[in-house]
Each structure stands twice: as C-alpha cells, then as structure tokens.
Amino acid sequence: MNEKIEKVLQALRKNNMNAFYLPDSAAVCAAVRERLFDGCTISSGGSVSLKESGVWDILKDEKYCFYDRTRPGITPEEQEEVYRKTVGCDFYFCSTNALTEDGQLVNVDGNCNRISAMAFGPKKVVLIVGVNKIVPDLKAAFLRVKTDAAPKNTVRLNLDTPCHKLGHCVALEKTSDPDWTDGCQSPSRICVNYMITAKQRDPERITVLLCGEELGY
Ligand code: SF4
C-alpha cells in the first residue's frame, strides 16, 4: 500500500466512513462475503466496478435477497418496486465517480436512484472503488466526471448526449475550467444531481473497499 492510499484511507476514516484497502478483486470479493448474511436484503447501483470485481456475482447468490433492477424481463412497474424496496435494504452496493484524497465521495447521477440510496435509506452502503477513482480534490473529481465517467457511461447506456460523441463534456468546449454543473441541454443528460459525501454522522453506515486494481470508470 503506498503513501497516497494510506492518506486516503485515513481521510475516509476521519470522515466517519469505514475504509479498507484490498489488493485485488479476489480480496474485495472475500471482504464482501464476510459482510453479508443469509437472507439479507440487497440492492445496488448500475456499476461497472461491481461487475468487473466479481462482486455482482456474489450479490446474485440465492442465499441473499437481491433486488436487481437490471434483471432480464423486469417491467417498469417492477423496477419502480425495486427502487421503493431499496430504501429498506440491509445493504446497498455501488461505486463512486471519484474519491478525493481528503476522503470525500463525488457522484453525479441522471436517474439519481444511486445517490439517493447513498445518502439515505439502506442500513449499510458498501462502495467498491478502484484506485483509478482517486483524485487530488473536488475540482479534479468533477473534472473526472466530465472527462471520464459521464462520457463512458453515456456510451455504455447508448445515450444521445454530446459527450457520447466528443468523449468529454460539451462544457469543456468553452473553457478548460467550467462550472461543475455546466453541461448539455440533452434530454438524455446524465448529469442532473451532484452529490458530495463528506463527514458522516453514523460511523458504521458507509464502508469503502478500496481495491488496488483499476475498476470501472
Ligand atoms: S452535462 Fe451532458 S455532455 Fe456534459 S457530461 Fe453530462 S451528459 Fe455529458
């Protein structure tokens, strides 16, 4: 574990979040299994990091009650029901768009089910975060959203936004230092609500499993 990672872990703990470093995805999966219990209720964000790390496959184990809003054949009504049930879940799994060196999580959502669950509802929130998500500060975090997370997610979700074609937010066409919330006029815009997760009141609710591998975007 290098100095930067140690600094991030300490900063997260100072912000009342549990934080652990795991060298690889196998270690992350073991840490996830340790936390879950038979019959626990789970929901999640649509996260590439969960899939790449193998955590997604654990959540689907029939020992657990996983409300999967992406399950093939799910109807809009059933998806809505998943969002309602998420509030009362034992666990919520997701990643983060960026993790600052002073221990803050930055996330920008379009549908906003993920940032809602991170902020309130599920008893425990567990984040699977690759080292590629670490940035120096909030400014770099929002820039990361505009140059990496959002463009790649619009490609993944096949959304008609300027960043899908440009590879970066349209706001960066005007200036290299745009306002955090500046962006496109697209009806498919995924930058709708902007959340900074800072110091928590409950020191047991949020856990960050920081993986030594690069995961997601
Ligand atoms: S505001 Fe629009 S163009 Fe900019 S990153 Fe978000 S979705 Fe892409």
pLDDT tens across the length of the chain (217 residues): 699 999 999 999 999 999 999 999 999 999 999 999 999 999 999 899 999 999 999 999 999 999 999 999 999 999 999 999 999 999 999 999 999 999 999 999 999 999 999 999 999 999 999 999 999 999 999 999 999 999 999 999 999 999 999 999 999 999 999 999 999 999 999 999 999 999 999 999 999 999 999 999 9
Backbone angles phi, psi at 102, to 5 degrees: -95, 20
Architecture of domain 3-211: 3-Layer(aba) Sandwich (3.40)
Cβ(162) – ligand 1 distance below 6 Å? yes
Least Cα distance to 124 among 70, 186, 44, 9 occurs for 44
Specify the residue with its C-alpha closest to ligand 1, atom 6: 191
Q: Where are the domains of the chain?
A: 3-211
Model confidence, pTM = 0.96
Instruction: Using the atom order of ligand 1, give the atom closest to the CA of residue 188.
Output: 7
Residue 115 near residue 193, CB atoms below 8 Å: yes
Question: Closest by alpha carbon to 127, among 167, 98, 161?
Answer: 98
Question: 84 C-alpha to center of ligand 1: Å?
Answer: 27
Atom of ligand 1 nearest to the CA of 159: 7
Q: What angle do CA 135, 139, 182 make, to 5 degrees?
A: 130
Q: Which helix (H) or strand (E) holds 209?
A: strand 206-211
- Sheet holding 105-109: strands in order across? 134-135, 98-100, 105-109, 193-197
**For residue 150, which atom of ligand 1 is closest to its CA?**
5
143 lines ligand 1 (CB under 6 A): no
Cα–Cα distance measured from residue 91 to residue 50, given in angstroms and rounded to the nearest whole number: 14
